[in-house]
A = this chain, B = another copy of it.
Amino acid sequence: MPHDENLTADRPTFVSHLECAMTGERYEADRLHGLSRVGRPLLVRYDLAGVRGALARETLAARPADLWKYRELLPVRHTRNIVSLGESATPIVPLDKEPGNVWVKDEGRLPTGSFKARGLVMAIAMAKELGVTTIAMPTNGNAGAAAAAYAARAGIEAVIFCPDDTPEINVREIAAQGARVYRVNGLIDDCGKIVGAGKEARGWFDLSTLKEPYRIEGKKTMGLELAEQFGWELPDAIFYPTGGGTGLIGMWKAFDEMEALGWIGSRRPRMYAVQAEGCAPIVRAFETGERHATRWEGAHTVAAGIRVPQAVGDFLILDAVRASGGKALAVSDAALIAAADDSARRDGLLLCPEGGATLAAYRDALATGLVDAEEKVVLFNCATGLKYPLADASRWLDRHAPVDWAEL
């Protein structure tokens, strides 16, 4: 009784090799890899002609709606190595009360409540396939939670490091899901340094953003899913909360692969990378025309997920944003909080702070004419709003006292 054939059916796979995103140097598939020789991310390449012969859009439509339906465009060779907590396609919810044509892709509906599940399910499946026994990674919270959950399922040990002010719920869910979790007196890149050192000292496999090649393959399913949900016509603009930027890079990669397969044309959405004013290295590099971003000192924002002072894939983010005709945009904490409040109160959709940031940036973009009210726009809500503090606005009632109906 396989209720999801995506998880149990053997399907052909098409990875041909990996290549350095900076130099194009080739690396062999089916071996453990970290960064390239020049210290940059590796991208997975496929025999796309082979995929084209094996997989049609109509075939996809008939498969169960989860990310494993895209198996021919994913790196896992052996079905037995698939780990899954039910990575169902995330819904696209219109914000009816906002002006324009704007939808939220609600990634908070994935396992462990965030889009980190997409990247980590793939990274852990590949770690399993390639014989890894212990993974380590730095996290601002949600990535660690996803890593812990999938590692538990795969029988892989997980060691997680997060900044000491990481939301309490994230630290607790990581621990509950069987990982060893450490709070570190520093930011996420400080945590990354500990992982880097432990790699040698303890033989950990480093699952940091873009430091292994497979999280991006999982994240690219956001682009595949979006195209399929929009009837193979991509929206006009995408607002993406950008910390490490894996999802933005992954979607951009997915668009190219889909064009090569003849599934979509050459038109692309304008990609808007959204950051917080208190941590906006990509915005600064975009505005000064740099291809690499320098570290943002003194990073601070309530949107912990995008508090990433330095991203190893900075040039990939900036290349995609520029090629798309988009921009990198910063919003204030006040604006992202207000946007999230409005979405919950008026549209019934609880956004995480990073999701609120995309709504705030969209509002700015509409006001300044970057986006037209006729255009189709998708915002990414990267995690469930339930993981974040909400204000108390309850009143009290004593059932033994007479109810004053006029007051209710």
Contacts and interface: CB of A to CB of B under 8 A. Distances in A.
A62 B64 CA distance: 10
A230 B2 CA distance: 8
B395 A183 contact: yes
A184 interface: yes
Contacts of A396: 164, 182-183, 185
A34 interface: no
A247 to B, nearest CB: 19
A231 B197 contact: no
Contact of A408 (B148, B180, B390): B180
Given A93-B86, A346-B178, A347-B153, A194 B399 contact: yes
A173 B399 contact: no
B194 A392 contact: no
Interface string A322-358: 0000000000000000000100111111100000000
Residue of A64, A90, A152, A190 most packed against chain B (CB within 10 A): A152
Contacts of A106: 85-86
Contacts of A376: 1
B398 A185 contact: yes
B393 A176 contact: yes
B86 A169 contact: no
Given A93-B86, A400-B185, A345 B1 contact: no
Number of copies: 2
A397 B183 contact: yes
B3 A113 contact: no
Contacts of A174: 394
A387 B388 CA distance: 11
Given A85-B348, A386-B113, A408 B198 contact: yes
A49 interface: no
Nearest to A7: B94
A257 interface: no
B96 A86 contact: no
A171 interface: yes
Given A93-B84, A397-B194, A391 B175 contact: yes
A205 interface: no
B109 A88 contact: yes
A177 B345 contact: yes
Contacts of A161: 397
A198 B405 contact: yes
A181 B111 CA distance: 29
A394 B345 contact: no
A172 B387 CA distance: 12
Given A86-B109, A173-B350, 9 more contacts: A86-B91, A86-B92, A88-B90, A88-B91, A96-B153, A112-B350, A152-B345, A173-B344, A194-B403
Interface of A: 1, 3-4, 62, 64-66, 84-93, 96, 103, 106, 109-113, 148-153, 159, 161, 164, 168-169, 171-178, 180-186, 190-191, 193-194, 197-198, 201-202, 229-231, 233, 341, 344-350, 376, 384-387, 390-400, 403, 405, 408
13 contacts: A4-B91, A66-B91, A86-B92, A109-B110, A113-B386, A172-B391, A178-B348, A180-B395, A182-B396, A184-B398, A191-B399, A197-B403, A384-B384
